[in-house]
Amino acid sequence: MSSTWGTGGARDRDSEGRARSARPRDGLGRPLPYGAAGVERQPEGVLRTPEQTVTEAQALLDDGKPFHAHEIFEDAWKSGPDRERTLWRGLAQLAVGLTHAARGNVTGGARLLRRGAGAVEEWASGAGERPYGMDLAGLTAWARELADEVESGERTVDARARAPRLRGRAAS
């Protein structure tokens, strides 16, 4: 990837010429200054099984990196079967909602948590409650509860402490 944005030139570009920021990012996906140590970015377009997607995303959520988990879900959303796109998109929205809430963006965090909960709930109603072992009812309840907390301003959201359990409380 060429990187001239930070030196007063053109934007960072990938090998196909698309704009891609080469700036390092923190665990919540916020850009850091060029040269700073950041969290390794998730490669785009990786084909994973649904089980691998859930496992990798859970590990990132557990590590307080919901922005990076969202990228895992986004790969599944874009490469998975059409009938599952709403599910994976909803899970990506939940991860981004947690990201925004942890960044202090009350409006965006609550909105994305509710939107993701709605998508996951809608998908579950037509396709079963536990695809790939995921507890969709529990995720929906978690997202709506967190959205309420974020909007009430009760406390700062710690992404690691508030990470959802994709497969329920018994999963690790």
CATH at 62: 1.10.3450.10
Residue 5 has pLDDT above 50, yes or no: no
| Domain assignment of residue 84, yes or no | yes
Q: Does residue 155 have a pLDDT over 80?
A: no
Q: How confident is the model at residue 23 (pLDDT cuts 50, 70, 90)?
A: confident
The pLDDT of residue 47 is above 60: yes
In a domain, residue 37? The reply is no
Go through 150-159 and write b for each residue having 16 or more CB atoms within 10 A of its CB, e for each that does not.
bbeeeeebeb
pLDDT of residue 18: 54
The reply to whether 145 and 67 lie within a common domain is yes
Tokens describing residue 148: 């309420």
Residue 107 falls within a domain, yes or no?
yes
Same domain? For 14 and 56 the reply is no
User: Residue 14: its pLDDT value, please?
Assistant: 54
Q: How far apart are CA 62 and CA 81, in angstroms?
A: 27
DSSP string, 7-39: GTSS--B-TTS-B---S-B-TT--B--TTS--B
pLDDT for residue 146 is more than 70: yes
Q: Which residues contact 154 (CB under 8 A, 6 or more apart)?
A: none
- The confidence score (pLDDT) of residue 7 equals 46
Mean pLDDT of 23-37: 83
Give me the domain span that covers residue 17.
1-28
Mean pLDDT of all residues in 151-159: 84
In a domain, 12, yes or no: yes
Of the chain, the percentage scoring pLDDT greater than 70 comes to 81
Query: Does residue 114 share a domain with residue 82?
Result: yes
3 and 71 in a single domain? The answer is: no
Based on the fold, state whether residues 18 and 76 are members of the same structural domain.
no
pLDDT, averaged across the chain: 84
Residue 39 resides in a domain: no
Residue 1 has a pLDDT of 44
Which pTM does this prediction carry?
0.81
Closest CA to 116 of 141, 103, 97, 99: 97
CB-hemisphere CA count at 13 Å for 86?
14
pLDDT of residue 44: 74
Same domain for 108 and 55: yes
Residues 86, 115 contacting (CB under 8 angstroms):
no
Residue 38, domain member (yes or no) = no
List, for residues 73-130, the tens digit of each pLDDT value: 999 999 989 999 999 999 999 999 999 999 999 899 999 999 999 999 988 876 666 8
Residue % of the chain over a pLDDT of 90 = 59
Residue 43 domain-assigned? no
Q: What is the pLDDT of residue 71?
A: 93
The DSSP string of 88-147 is HHHHHHHHHHHHHHHHT-HHHHHHHHHHHHHHHHHHHHHH-S-GGG--HHHHHHHHHHHH
Q: Per DSSP, what are the bridge partners of residue 31?
A: 25
9 domain-assigned: yes
